């Protein structure tokens, strides 16, 4: 076998397309809060992060997978090279792109940060979890901390002096966060004694920074049961006054299917009664609200992870398909003397690749759309813009977060599976990167709220937010797009299918409302995941078709041999392919929901199977 | 976390149902060629193999995954315990159930062997590959070898003295087997010098037996290009006269995503010019025909692997769901004081489990159907039965082999993915078996002919076999089932949907014929996988509904508290759930094919993406 080229790749051209040709980032540059940012700055940052990701992070991806993290004498050792990469990351300032200048950052658009996040996560998912969580902790403290906390922690977190984690899960409190037992007992001065055990803590311990700030959800004395009784605490691993350990013990590390370079720890807080934390802000019982700010960012982050790994897997498969010669063209199927061709020429390989391309570019476009709504919110706020418009943009972010998290993680994983299939037997061995992508990405559908939690968030909270206005605004946007695109040639039945899908989505949302009103809560649980998928199929088709139209127009103006032409034509094909395949599934899903099948509910528990029988 | 119960489980009750309640194995017992077999024998064998699989193989599954195989001083060491398990396996005679008595076996029905294969493969996929390949080699030699070869090798292979492998793949000849370069030069007396390198050889070397017989595809001098020039050779690892090495060198082992207990080797034959093989039989250039006999059995074997791992993953998830307490019932969604329930009570978990159950039991039923056609062929031959009837049964086997291989491998893998999701975060760590099931099963869609090769086999060969008679006979069987079941209550629209799916399948088959005739070969490649999936969705729904009717009738006759009642009711729910979900997809697939979308073909190569761009 030829030696594999095991390096990171991403599609910078598509990123530039989304930012400047489809979603209009240029309108926001040069004005507050991005007054210092130009188009050239953005392009330079994308190029710089890409180069750095390829050169520094990419080569450590397989290393981290192979070596994993090791717990020795109570401390975690990260894989070879991670310490140097951490240092280099913060020297380059790549984590500070979207961070306000007062916290040591560059105050750039979220959308740019997000695309650099795709590159860093795609090059090395496990490594990127350490700075990702650290940034999330800084943002929680910036939003909810006292001025003293912001002053003491944010800059140190944003510049890589400290790292951070989020500690929610306990042995009996996973999806049911409110069941957490960890206790926080006030000892005065905003300080608390912390006592409890947290599990599945990503980046729970490591050797990358001088200290780690854990954000710990815990229950104060006499607090009510459930999520409402939880408060959030900053709990440093080591005392901040330099007096040594804060009684946070790394009890063990999990041995996982993937992301081996990320230490997943069981943390014991207060084993010896000496673990001290401080409340975030000054008020107790705001823990869930505060944590949710981080969770929302973390959920977008998981969507980016799904996109990142899928994008890397797609391009790895594409490169392999262009190089691997196997068998004759299908037109000469049974002729042993026919010339052998690269497998990229085989229709089934092309089909798999176009399926992957559509999903990757569609998810990327949906994430950029979400993120541009965020940036427009910031821009409107900075310029004293219309409150209604701000509400609209913020509402679209809320609505799309669970869709992005769940769909990008599910489909990102499936793209890696398809990538293995494109490689054939070579995809199953560790000489090539795709099997690691598959293993790494399986966790995305589980952590930061399982994808069912996302679906319940969508149908149980987001659909009804602002009296349903966010969802209705989205449907209206789709209708406006459909009506405004009637003159475009070459779309076939895609527009009609998009409108039919949006209509089916609207009807299905009403069906949930009916179930709520009729007390058929169990049907909501049964069909929530399917609805989320339908919403993703619709919105991804929409943004792909929108981009496909932009691309087709751009291609029309180019000479046949212009290097951008194939790019534009490719985007148009991917959009139509995806829409054609996926939009009818939305209508099918609505019909399926309308039948209210209850077999899963009605089957007796013992009917699932008898365990241990002979 | 509670300590996980990491043991093998399978559903013996469902196996008994399929054999004796749905598919009528009883009709074949006590008559040639199964004259010595009774129902009690079958039940005792199933019980015995289940117990042995749980006690001996199951505990070695994680061991094999963790330790893998090691190449040291040119020889492969298998994981701890594999040697003892091999010895125990052949002492118990579990590999000889379907083997003719003259080769040391017990001459039982293929269907019983196949279900014991599910258990052994489910308990330890990697281990079971060694005896599975060994049996395949013995069957090729029994079918095509000279009497002397049969005498010398078959019994030793069937009793575990020798092991065997199949050596097809070369660095540049994977799916394109006919591109193989390995040369065989006659040296007289039916002997040949072998010179070449084979890769991805499962069980390629190990320490389980005193010798290994490799079946090697190679090209004789002046043989034509392509598959027609290939001959098959028996190449022992060590000279059979005890004079030492036969110049077969294990160059390396692959490091894989899963099945780590199975040694996947690169084998160099004839590095020093001293590798001697003997032709299978007496005629050259029959290699592909001979190998295909083994391939067909191996393909059914891969279907069994998919079923086996999926079945184990399903029952692991079911057990976990019954034990893991998390969150309140969805009816008390937001009430923190509501009692917590096992996650089996959550609608979305029930939905995932019923999806899994339907697929597992449906694939098992389809494999048993295929295998019963085989057994009926044997029974008809033994009793001098009607040639037409033999042709019918043999034809159904041919037709179903690619469907079973591809669908069981694809869906088996997807079931393991769902199992991980049921476990949540716990599913991602190695304390529980499901992440290994997922890694182990990913190879099934690739080896023994990728699933696209299966799809091409189906649409390019099997549909048209005997002038299309096999396929037409299947459609007629479905119609007869639908018409004969009209009186059954409780099926809802399932029968109409099954008939609609069968009609759509028939139309789509005609579409392929049209494409062949119009020279649109590329559309055949593009849609072959989808058609195979449609055929699987239809046939699996059919056998599930057939079983569901049998189960519903049986349940009707039982008192409410009879322990079998929940089993029967469960099967009925699973059948309707699967049929309801999957049958409309067949009709959608036919519509999709009718649109003849060509985006994957028309996109310019460079439109897929620019690699390495900045």
Q: Which of B176, B327, B357 sits opposite A175 (nearest CB)?
A: B327
What would the DSSP string read from start to end of B256-271?
A: BSS-TTS-EEEEEE-T
Alpha-carbon distance of A294 to A297, in angstroms, equals 5
Q: Which of A12, A421, A603 sits opposite B446 (nearest CB)?
A: A421
Alpha-carbon distance of A468 to A464, in angstroms, equals 4
With a pLDDT cut of 90, the percent of chain B lying above it is: 93
Q: Pairing between strand B70-72 and B75-77?
A: antiparallel
Alpha-carbon distance of B391 to A40, in angstroms, equals 72
Q: Is the dihedral of CA B105, B109, B112, B115 positive or negative?
A: positive
- pLDDT tens track for A349-390: 999 999 999 999 999 999 999 999 999 999 999 999 999 999
Instruction: Determine which of A281-295, A588-602, B37-51 has the lowest per-residue pLDDT on average.
Output: A281-295
This complex has an ipTM of 0.97
Residue of A nearest to B201 (CA): A425
Q: What is the CATH number of the domain that holds B100?
A: 1.10.540.10
Q: Do B147 and B171 fall into the same domain?
A: no
Using a CB-CB cut-off of 8 Å, the residues of chain B touching A227 are 336
Structural domain includes residue A329:
no
Q: Is the dihedral of CA B431, B437, B440, B442 positive or negative?
A: negative
Q: Give the residues across from A216 on adjacent strands.
A: A167, A233
What would the DSSP string read from start to end of A529-582?
A: HHHHHHHHHHHHHHHHHHHHHHHHHHHHTS-TT-HHHHHHHHHHHHHHHHHHHH
Q: State if pTM tops 0.90.
A: yes
Question: How many residue contacts between A and B have a Cβ separation below 8 Å?
Answer: 330
**What's the mean pLDDT in B536-551?**
98
* Model confidence at B612: pLDDT above 90: no
Confidence of residue B522 (pLDDT cuts 50, 70, 90): very high
Alpha-carbon distance of B244 to B267, in angstroms, equals 17
Q: Do A21 and A152 fall into the same domain?
A: yes
Residue of A nearest to B15 (CA): A614
* Model confidence at B417: pLDDT above 70: yes
- pLDDT tens track for A240-277: 999 999 999 999 999 999 999 999 999 999 999 999 99
* Residues 101-120, chain B, touching A (beta carbon < 8 A): none
Alpha-carbon distance of A613 to B43, in angstroms, equals 13
Question: Cβ–Cβ of A226/B526 closer than 8 Å?
Answer: no
Q: Is A2 helix (H, G, I), strand (E, B) or coil?
A: coil
| Cα distances (angstroms) measured from residue A411 to each of A356, A408, A536, A537, B526 | 9, 5, 10, 11, 21
Last residue of a domain, one of A136, A158, A180: A158
State the distance between the two ends of chain B, measured CA to CA, in whole angstroms: 48
**What's the mean pLDDT in B496-504?**
98
CA of A61 vs chain B CAs: smallest distance (Å) = 16
Residue of B nearest to A45 (CA): B614
**What's the mean pLDDT in A391-415?**
98
- Mean model confidence pLDDT for chain B: 95
Structural domain includes residue A271:
yes
- Cα B421 → chain centroid: 24
Contact B494, B538 (CB under 8 A): no
* Model confidence at B303: pLDDT above 60: yes
Question: Cβ–Cβ of A574/B322 closer than 8 Å?
Answer: no
Exposed, middle or buried: residue B210 (CB in 10 Å: 0-12, 13-18, 19+)? exposed
* Model confidence at B2: pLDDT above 50: no
pLDDT at A62: 97
Structural domain includes residue B510:
yes
pLDDT at B3: 38
* Model confidence at A2: pLDDT above 90: no
Q: What is the CATH number of the domain that holds A186?
A: 2.40.110.20
Residue of A nearest to B582 (CA): A592
Residue B337 contacts A where some CB pair is shorter than 8 Å: yes
* Residues 201-240, chain B, touching A (beta carbon < 8 A): 224-228
- pLDDT tens track for B173-215: 888 988 999 999 999 999 999 999 999 999 999 999 999 999 9
pLDDT at A292: 85
Last residue of a domain, one of A272, A287, A302: A287
- Cα B486 → chain centroid: 33
Q: Do B168 and B276 fall into the same domain?
A: yes
Mutation target vs B (from A609, A610, A613; most B CBs, 10 A cutoff): A609
* Model confidence at A5: pLDDT above 50: no
Q: Which of B21, B448, B533, B546 is catalytic?
A: B448
- pLDDT tens track for A550-571: 999 999 999 988 989 999 999 9
Structural domain includes residue A335:
no
Residue B424 contacts A where some CB pair is shorter than 8 Å: yes
Q: Which two tokens stand for residue A355?
A: 């399926």
- pLDDT tens track for A471-484: 999 999 999 999 99
Structural domain includes residue A434:
no
* Model confidence at B31: pLDDT above 70: yes
* Model confidence at A412: pLDDT above 80: yes
* Model confidence at B370: pLDDT above 80: yes
Q: Do B167 and B104 fall into the same domain?
A: no
Q: Do B253 and B236 fall into the same domain?
A: yes
Question: Cβ–Cβ of A227/B447 closer than 8 Å?
Answer: no
pLDDT at A614: 42
* Residues 268-307, chain A, touching B (beta carbon < 8 A): none
- Residue B51: CB atoms within 10 A of its CB come to 12
| A91 is annotated as an active-site residue | no
Exposed, middle or buried: residue B354 (CB in 10 Å: 0-12, 13-18, 19+)? buried
Contact A207, A159 (CB under 8 A): no
Using a CB-CB cut-off of 8 Å, the residues of chain A touching B439 are 257, 439
Phi-psi region of B73 (alpha: psi -120 to 50; beta: other; left: phi over 0): left
Mutation target vs B (from A347, A418, A585; most B CBs, 10 A cutoff): A347
Question: Cβ–Cβ of A570/B443 closer than 8 Å?
Answer: no
Residue A554 contacts B where some CB pair is shorter than 8 Å: no
- pLDDT tens track for A413-435: 999 999 999 999 999 999 999 99
Last residue of a domain, one of A158, A187, A217: A158
pLDDT at A612: 52
Alpha-carbon distance of B380 to B501, in angstroms, equals 31
Residue of A nearest to B8 (CA): A612
pLDDT at B393: 98
- pLDDT tens track for B55-114: 999 999 999 999 999 999 999 999 999 999 999 999 999 999 999 888 889 999 999 999
Structural domain includes residue A330:
no
Structural domain includes residue A438:
no
Alpha-carbon distance of B373 to B394, in angstroms, equals 7
* Model confidence at B420: pLDDT above 50: yes
Question: Cβ–Cβ of B599/A574 closer than 8 Å?
Answer: yes
Q: Do A533 and A586 fall into the same domain?
A: yes
Q: Do B95 and B203 fall into the same domain?
A: no
**What's the mean pLDDT in B117-137?**
97
Q: Do A18 and A126 fall into the same domain?
A: yes
Q: What is the dihedral of CA B281, B287, B289, B295, to 10 degrees?
A: 110
pLDDT at B614: 42
| Structural domains counted in chain B | 3
* Residues 141-200, chain A, touching B (beta carbon < 8 A): 169, 171-172, 174-176, 178-179, 199-200
Residue of A nearest to B425 (CA): A446
Alpha-carbon distance of A361 to A18, in angstroms, equals 9
Residue of A nearest to B610 (CA): A11
Q: Do A138 and A268 fall into the same domain?
A: no
Burial B404-440 (b: 16+ CB within 10 A, else e): bbbbbbbbbbbbbbbbbbbbbbbbbbbbbbbbbbbbb
Q: Which of A284, A448, A533, A546 is catalytic?
A: A448
Q: Is the dihedral of CA B308, B309, B313, B319 positive or negative?
A: positive
* Residues 351-370, chain B, touching A (beta carbon < 8 A): 351, 353-354, 357
Q: Which two tokens stand for residue A544?
A: 């792909």
Alpha-carbon distance of B357 to B362, in angstroms, equals 8
Residue B488 contacts A where some CB pair is shorter than 8 Å: no
Numbers of helices and strands, H then E, in chain B: 18, 12
Q: Do B56 and B192 fall into the same domain?
A: no
pLDDT at A450: 97
- Residue A296: CB atoms within 10 A of its CB come to 18
Structural domain includes residue B566:
yes
Question: Cβ–Cβ of B227/A336 closer than 8 Å?
Answer: yes
More confident residue, B354 or B331: B354
Instruction: Determine which of A323-327, B213-217, B293-297 has the lowest per-residue pLDDT on average.
Output: B293-297
Q: Do A152 and A250 fall into the same domain?
A: no
Nearest one of A183, A433, A445, A441 to A315, comparing CA atoms: A433
Nearest one of B401, B497, B539, B448 to B133, comparing CA atoms: B448
Exposed, middle or buried: residue A383 (CB in 10 Å: 0-12, 13-18, 19+)? exposed
- Residues of the domain holding A532: 464-598
Using a CB-CB cut-off of 8 Å, the residues of chain A touching B45 are none
Question: Cβ–Cβ of A577/B592 closer than 8 Å?
Answer: no
What would the DSSP string read from start to end of B553-580?
A: HHHHTS-TT-HHHHHHHHHHHHHHHHHH
Burial A234-272 (b: 16+ CB within 10 A, else e): bbbbeeeeeeeebbbbbeebbebbbbbbbbbbbbbbbee
Residue B66 contacts A where some CB pair is shorter than 8 Å: no
| Cα distances (angstroms) measured from residue B404 to each of A71, A457, B407, B537 | 45, 39, 5, 11
Q: Do A152 and A114 fall into the same domain?
A: yes
Question: Cβ–Cβ of B430/A599 closer than 8 Å?
Answer: no
């Amino acid at each position: 076998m030829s030696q594999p080229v095991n390096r990171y790749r991403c599609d910078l051209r598509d990123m530039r397309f989304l930012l400047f040709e489809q979603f209009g980032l240029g309108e926001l540059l040069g004005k507050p809060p991005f007054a210092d940012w130009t188009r050239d700055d953005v392009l330079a940052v994308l190029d710089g992060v890409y180069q750095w990701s390829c050169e520094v992070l990419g080569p450590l991806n397989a290393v981290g997978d192979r070596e994993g993290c090791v717990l020795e004498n109570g401390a975690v050792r990260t894989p070879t090279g991670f310490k140097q990469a951490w240092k280099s990351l913060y020297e380059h300032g790549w984590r500070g792109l979207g961070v306000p200048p007062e916290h040591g950052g560059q105050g750039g658009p979220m959308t740019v940060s997000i695309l650099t996040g795709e590159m860093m996560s795609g090059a090395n998912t496990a490594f990127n979890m350490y700075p990702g969580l650290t940034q999330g902790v800084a943002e929680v403290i910036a939003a909810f901390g006292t001025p003293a906390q912001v002053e003491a922690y944010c800059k140190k977190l944003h510049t890589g002096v400290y790292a951070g984690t989020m500690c929610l899960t306990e042995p009996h409190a996973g999806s049911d966060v409110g069941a957490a037992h960890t206790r926080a007992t006030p000892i005065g001065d905003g300080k608390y004694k912390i006592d409890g055990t947290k599990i599945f803590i990503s980046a729970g311990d490591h050797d990358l920074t001088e200290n780690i700030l854990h954000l710990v959800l815990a229950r104060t004395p006499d607090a009510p049961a459930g999520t409402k009784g939880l408060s959030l605490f900053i709990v440093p691993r080591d005392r901040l006054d330099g007096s040594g350990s804060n009684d946070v013990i790394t009890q063990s590390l999990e041995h996982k299917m993937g992301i081996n370079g990320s230490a997943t720890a069981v943390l014991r807080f207060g084993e010896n009664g000496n673990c001290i934390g401080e409340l975030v802000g000054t008020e107790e019982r705001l823990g869930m609200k505060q944590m949710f700010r981080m969770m929302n960012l973390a959920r977008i982050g998981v969507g980016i992870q799904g996109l990142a790994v899928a994008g890397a897997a797609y391009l790895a498969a594409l490169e392999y398909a262009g190089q691997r010669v196997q068998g004759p063209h299908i037109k000469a199927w049974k002729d042993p003397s026919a010339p052998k061709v690269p497998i990229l020429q085989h229709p089934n390989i092309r089909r798999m690749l176009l399926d992957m391309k559509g999903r990757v570019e569609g998810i990327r476009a949906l994430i950029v759309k979400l993120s541009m709504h965020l940036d427009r919110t910031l821009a409107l706020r900075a310029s004293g813009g219309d409150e209604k418009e701000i509400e609209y943009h913020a509402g679209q972010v809320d609505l799309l977060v669970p869709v992005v998290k769940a769909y990008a993680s599910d489909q990102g994983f499936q793209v890696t599976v398809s990538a293995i299939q494109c490689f054939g037997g070579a995809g199953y061995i560790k000489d090539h990167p795709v099997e690691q992508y598959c293993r790494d990405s399986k966790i995305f559908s589980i952590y930061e709220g399982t994808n069912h939690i996302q679906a319940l968030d969508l149908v149980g909270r987001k659909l009804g937010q602002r009296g349903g206005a966010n969802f209705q605004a989205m449907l209206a946007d789709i209708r406006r797009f459909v009506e405004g695109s009637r003159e475009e040639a070459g779309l076939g039945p895609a527009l009609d299918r998009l409108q039919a899908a949006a209509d089916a989505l609207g009807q299905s949302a009403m069906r949930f409302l009916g179930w709520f009103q009729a007390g058929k809560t169990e049907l909501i649980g049964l069909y929530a995941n399917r609805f989320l998928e339908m919403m993703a199929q619709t919105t991804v088709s929409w943004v792909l078709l929108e981009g496909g139209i932009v691309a087709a127009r751009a291609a029309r103006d180019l000479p046949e041999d212009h290097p951008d032409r194939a790019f534009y034509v490719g985007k148009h094909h991917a959009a139509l392919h995806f829409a054609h395949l996926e939009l009818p599934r939305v209508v099918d899903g609505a019909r399926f929901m309308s039948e209210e099948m209850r077999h899963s509910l009605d089957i007796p528990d013992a009917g699932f199977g008898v365990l241990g029988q002979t």
